[in-house]
Amino acid sequence: MGPGRGFEEITVKSLGHQSGRDRYPRKYVQNNDIEVPRCVAWGMNLTALSQIYNMYIVAYHSKIHIYKPTGPQQLLAAEPLLVLDLPSTPKADRLRAGDPYSTHSINHLIVGNLGNHEIILCACGDGDVLAYYTAPIHRASLTPPTTPSSTPSPRAPPQPTPFFHEHVGISAWGLAIHTQSRLLAVSSNAHEVQVFAFALSSPIPTCVPTPRTAASVENFPIAERLTSSPKSRDTNFKICIPLGPRGDNIPSIAFTSAPDGEADKVIASDIRGALWFLPLWGAGDPTRIPTTPGGNWRRAPQGWGVVVLDDKFGCGADGVKEAFGCAPAEEKGQWDISRSIAEVRGERIGAMDPVREHNFFAWGYGAGGGFDIGEAEGVDLGLYWGDLLDEGEMEDDEFDGDEDFNDDLDDGDDDDADEEEESEASSANSTDEPVPVPVPSRHLILHLNRHALTLYPQTGRPTLCSPILRQDASHAPAPFAHPMDFYNRLNMAVPIPGLSCVVIGCQVGRVGVVKITKGGAREWQGGKNGHNGEVIPAATMRLETILPFASQEGRNRERPTTGMHGVAVSPMPEWLPGSEGVSGEEGGNGRRKRGVKRWRVMIQYWDLSVLSYVFSDERALGVDDL
């Protein structure tokens, strides 16, 4: 945590660790005929925590597993409390029948509020998009599952069904929820964003048609572009926003809001690293903003995530060091805090596990070694992601199976230096100035590229940190044919508003925590020299910590050498308003009125290992909160 950094940091402590073998002991699995879940690798964040109930939510292929973390260590049982087997639309059935690479596996899963109701929203590889309310899922999870020979209790709650089930034509990826406007947005490999608007005449949207009638009933008919957000909505409708000929695949999207709190735009990050600003209403056209110069696929930005924050997000900082975590470099009109990475990361000995560990467990029991991800998931990566995943452009040594597997999965400092030299040479030969990012007023934009994280404020210069979580995985003993370097990407982001932090996940296996700060640095309004002499506080960020801790990495330690399945964040259970047996001013709601002070972060890996942490601001914790 850097005790000598000269400012107060959030406190991060390890809660517990469960290896996949601890969660699924061989004898227990065999004696109880338990099916060990298998992870899908080529996805976005596939885990989440409810913000109301003590529920841990995990996507495995076309199913969602519901668990209840228990005890001080937040441990998970081997068997889930509930399994949601996702239904499929007729359109998705037809797509899978004609496309051997299309599957019903979940690509992305998020939790958020649609109006006053918390929901789970997920996107599938065959174009299906489904949403469930968490309240009926929680009720169903409290009822012990029935065995095949037993009769369900007449008082048992019905099995949850999706209240929203639509098809977007092709593989769906980016997801966004707008609470106040009650909108859902979905991006797909059709290079477009579809926005679904629910009727407001009823407090809860009606259920989707049954599969028998779904083919003939359009639950969300396409609406012509409206001049403004309708004040009232008595029917469902959807808006389709194509990116046009310069569009590309869109892994991540987010809403922005007008001054009245209603949704007005979708911001999308495409796979080439560009940011798109897509107006929902009126006649405005999509605006594309390239964020960095291009290059071959290993150097291209590859945008994997975008997070839109309210400009109230953040905390005050006293001075430059507290604002940035280091003395930032000023380069190309931006603050560069990359030099803080080595200080925060510290010395690490790697995350090597014996190769034999993977042969048994990396993809579930009986997976075997030499597993090819293309065969495992039925996904041709090149088909959907183009030359960004062109093996022919990679260097031969990255595919050399005779490399020394005793090398640790390290931080790749030599590769970083090469990358920086190439970047500097490219910049020296380029006369193009970076295109300003038109951040909407009252917002901040956090953009995740392959290795770089950039915070764009509405005024002032952006803050860059790169390569924040990159690791040299080219010689890691991965249990599949595609090298781990494909997964060396920042593709997960979960904000923690109560701590002014955003948790950033790299699929190779590490998590970074950045804190949004204000006031430690100042900018001249209107430019460097200022047109009106006004000085404004700048919104910046600093790198707070990197997880797992250095002490958790290395041979036979907690962190496995497999990719990351997801990172999930929620208040600790004592702050959850829906906690069982907790009520009154001393319960979850009473605590939340004073502000959530303790948050849990759970990191899950492909081998089903889980590492859990608690985040807190010790200065804000009173005696009653400990």
State both tokens at 392. 């022919």
Contacts of 483 (CB under 8 A, 6+ apart): 394, 398, 399, 473, 474
Q: Average pLDDT for residues 273-300, to the nearest whole number? A: 77
- Among 351, 294, 338, smallest CA distance to 472 is for 351
Every domain of the chain and the residues it spans:
11-36+293-626, 91-129+159-289
DSSP-assigned states of every residue in 444-497: EEEEE-SS-EEEE-SSS--EEETTSS--B-TTS--SSSS-GGGG-SEEEEEEEG
pLDDT band at 397 (very low <50, low <70, confident <90, very high): very low
Rounded CA gap, 74 and 569, in Å?
12
Residue 491 pLDDT:
93
Residue 550, token pair as written in the block: 């250095």
Confirm if 160 and 133 have CB atoms less than 8 A apart: yes
- Averaged pLDDT, 7-29: 90
- Average pLDDT taken over every residue of the chain: 78
In this predicted structure, the answer to whether residue 556 has a pLDDT above a threshold of 80 is no
DSSP β-ladder status, 263-269 and 252-257: antiparallel
- CA 194, CA 168: separation in Å to the nearest integer? 7
pLDDT score of 229 more than 80: no
Q: What is the DSSP letter of 70?
A: B
Q: Is 169 left (phi over 0), alpha (psi -120 to 50) or beta?
A: left
> Which pLDDT tens digit goes with each residue over 424-458?
433 434 445 678 899 999 999 999 998 889 999 98
Quickly count: other Cβ atoms within 10 Å of residue 375's Cβ: 10
- Residues of the chain by 3-state class (helix, strand, coil), percent to 5: 15, 30, 50
Which among 608, 553, 562 has a CA at the least distance from the CA of 14? 553
pLDDT tens per residue, range 286-297: 999 998 733 334
Q: Report the distance separating Cα 551 and Cα 558, nearest Å.
A: 9
Angle of CA points 414, 418, 423, to nearest 5°: 145
Query: Looking up tokens 């930005």, which residue turns up?
Result: 301
Residues sharing a CB contact under 8 Å with residue 579, sequence separation 6 or more, in sequence order: 53, 54, 573, 587, 588
pLDDT digit string, tens, across residues 522-539: 664 444 444 454 555 678
Residue 591: in which H helix or E strand, if any? helix 588-593
Of 83, 125, 132, nearest to 102 (Cα)? 125
Going across the sheet that includes 128-133, the strands are 106-114, 117-124, 128-133, 164-167
What is the mean pLDDT of the segment spanning 258-264?
93
Amino acid in position 311: D
What is the distance between the terminal CA atoms of the chain, rounded to a whole angstrom?
A: 21
- Cis amide linkage into residue 279, ω under 30° from 0: no
CB atoms within 10 A of CB 316: 12
Nearest to 208 by CA among 132, 136, 157, 139: 132
Q: Is the separation of the CB atoms in 617 and 603 below 8 Å?
A: no
Can you give the pLDDT at residue 409? 43
Q: Nearest-CA neighbor of 269 among 257, 253, 285, 280? A: 253
Grouping H, G, I as helix, E, B as strand and the rest as coil, residue 586 is coil
3-state secondary structure of 572: coil
- Give the range among 124-138, 381-395, 605-619 with minimum mean pLDDT: 381-395
